[in-house]
Structure 1
Amino acid sequence: MRLADDPESPHTHSVPNTCVGKSERQSFVNSNTWQNLFLTALKWRQEKEQRLVGVDEIGRLFAGKSDGLEGVLVDAFGPLVVLTIYNPGLASHAPELLSQLKHCLPGDRFVLGKVRSAAGGFDFLDPDNVLGRSWTAREDDCLFEVRADDKNDFGLFPDARPARLALRGILKPDSHVLNLFSYTCGFSVVACRSGARAATNVDASAEMLTWGKRNASLNAVDFAVVPEMAQKYLLRLERRVSEGKITCPDVWVCDPPAFGVGRGQQRILKHFWTDFWGFVERLEPRAVLVLRNDRTGHRQKDTFAAEVEENFRGRFEILPVGFAQSPSLCYEGTDAYYKVNESLILLRR
């Protein structure tokens, strides 16, 4: 990908001193600074990986505080480039930020703005009239349907690429992968493309599972889909395993949403993690890949790893999933407005 012409952007990944974080800094920032920040981030990724995300690829182009704007992400989903603003101090500047981003991109890209609203949802800016359109894009050797969808996100979360890479490393040729909260079945696509014998996807949304089956077709693989809440599925799985009717999948992937839905005791994630660790204890999968975001609001320990260690000390080898294989993600852990998934692999000793 060739960047748009840039007369004066620096070529290192150091960001200008006018880096935006809290609202009191806003007066020091103008559109020229924003354009320079975008260009600097794009050029750094191009130099780091000897290339930049292509027009048919999925990947992160700008990563919040790491690139100079707290709470601002830019992700490519094929030709669709999405600017997401979590920082309320920048919400009113969204049209100008989107315009400056577009100036930094080749002409074959479409842009879409996604801005966190005061009510907690998102407002969309669609200057290129892309909402409702879809494309096929790839991450590594897998193809995915991506959509400009204002209700269901875009079909794949770039944040989770390190976890998808890690999944490849724990599979065996006879592995059966259980993919909980599967969304559009991205982990199962990767698993089947990497040689897993079977995969079962569980999600409450039949619409997302249908999307996942289209992803399977794009990659010439197949897998099972189950439109059911994860907790209910695990109860049924445990019963059928205890009755000797089926064997338990040996590799589990668990990637619940950042925010549960529902009220009170019916909130979908209210008791999920306590229940989940119980199922892991009793059903004894060989390996578990878990992704967790602290926006769930139900964490009892300082870190996810500490909670897992307390539950399974000595019975699992617990390995953090890092970002070494995905330098373009370039995370700054202290971004005040956006927290990334904490991902762990549990390998039974």
Structure 2
Amino acid sequence: MHNFSPLITALDSAPIAANELCRIFHGRGHSVEHLSHLNLDFYPPSLFLVSYDEITPETLEQLTEQVWNWVKTNAPEHITALVYQQRAGLKTQNTLLYGELPESHIVKEGAAKFNVDLMSRQNTGIFPDMRNGREFVSNNSKGAKVLNLFSYTCGFSVSAMQGGADCVINMDMNKGVLRTGKQNHQLNGFDRGVSFLPHDILKSFGKLKKAAPFDLIIVDPPSFQKGSFILTKDYQKVLRRLPELLTCDTQLLLCANSPELSEHAFKALIEEHTQGAITFVERLAPTSGFVEVDSDRSLKALIYKTTITSA
């Protein structure tokens, strides 16, 4: 019999009644070593369980039975489904194990709403660990011209518009995620001042330079995207071009979510390839629920600003 009690205990203290997107159990933070392959998220009204290791059908049944029994006893009015995602091996597989998913699945985070899909692909449409990043963007966008690189489904852009941005340019080479991004803006009542450019960022800096300068720049690339972006090889190409896009007081949110890249190494990479044009301000604290034993292996969301040079 496996001991899943830390995960079940996490359910007891999770803010389920708030009915917002959140992480319930962050096994990948290694605070409970024997469960370090498991994460559990709440995408209201659904639980989303992910395993990064292969687990036997018997073990899975034990775990999910315990989780669903907890749901039936404690939160049947808030939770109506449990989806399991197997991330180990060559192919990610998503399975609806209990209940029913909403036909149109929209989750809330604060005042924002986002379309999500727990069944069709590896990524759901929004990353719960970046909530503090979205909050930073919202708090620093008033009247700003914002550039959102590797925009995915444009969560940062929605946050920027909620914070009063003048305009946002979203760029991502995947047209499908940009379509969802457009829907996310419509969902939140933003139909002007936002553009969605389906381009390869590494080949599109001429276009960005024409639109520059920007008051706020967000760079949040995938760690690895087959055929288009490898963080450890391609990030520097983006960093080298950033100085061309700055005002005298641009803020930047530079992100890396690779366990192999430490905070020190990430800062060194930024310093080397931006030629002194920007200065480190702070690292954003982890979003609530993302307890990490080793902060170097976790998401790194670093704030920079244009270096002030005396005349």
Give me the TM-score of the superposition, normalised by structure 1: 0.75
Q: Secondary structure at the match of 1:126?
A: strand
Q: Distance in 2 between matches of 1:97 and 1:41?
A: 14
1:192-250 CA distance string (max 9 Å, x none) = 01111111111111111111111111111132111111222323222x2xxxxx44222
Higher share in strand:
2
1:144-193 CA distance string (max 9 Å, x none) = 1122233252211001112112223332x321111111111100001101
1:10-35 CA distance string (max 9 Å, x none) = xxxxxxxxxxxxxxxxxxxx25x31x
AA at the equivalent of 1:158: P
Q: Secondary structure at the match of 2:225?
A: coil
8 Å CA contact 2:41–2:48 kept in 1: the answer is: yes
CA distance 1:141–1:132, shift in 2 (3 Å): closer
CA distance 1:131–1:79, shift in 2 (3 Å): closer
- State which of 243, 261, 265 in structure 2 corresponds to 1:303: 265
Q: Secondary structure at the match of 1:304?
A: helix
**Aligned residue for 1:226?**
197
8 Å CA contact 2:51–2:88 kept in 1: the answer is: no
Alpha-carbon RMSD: 2.8
Shift in Å at residue 54 of structure 1? Answer: 3.6
Q: Distance in 2 between matches of 1:344 and 1:62?
A: 24
AA at the equivalent of 1:96: Q
AA at the equivalent of 2:270: V
Deviates more, 1:278-287 or 1:134-143: 278-287
8 Å CA contact 1:63–1:330 kept in 2: the answer is: yes
AA at the equivalent of 1:251: L
Shift in Å at residue 80 of structure 1? Answer: 1.6
**Aligned residue for 2:171?**
202
Q: Distance in 2 between matches of 1:169 and 1:188?
A: 12
Is 1:154 the counterpart of 2:124 in the alignment?
Answer: yes
8 Å CA contact 2:80–2:101 kept in 1: the answer is: no
**Aligned residue for 1:282?**
244
Q: Distance in 2 between matches of 1:196 and 1:66?
A: 38
Is 1:193 the counterpart of 2:168 in the alignment?
Answer: no
| Unaligned stretches of 5+ residues in structure 1 | 1-29, 46-51, 241-245
8 Å CA contact 2:81–2:98 kept in 1: the answer is: yes
Aligned residues: 294
**Aligned residue for 2:44?**
78
1:273-304 CA distance string (max 9 Å, x none) = 12111111232251111111225x6x598531
Q: Secondary structure at the match of 1:189?
A: helix
8 Å CA contact 1:70–1:87 kept in 2: the answer is: no
- State which of 91, 100, 104 in structure 1 corresponds to 2:66: 100
- State which of 321, 328, 343 in structure 1 corresponds to 2:301: 343
Q: Distance in 2 between matches of 1:220 and 1:314?
A: 36
CA distance 1:98–1:259, shift in 2 (3 Å): farther
Shift in Å at residue 90 of structure 1? Answer: 6.9
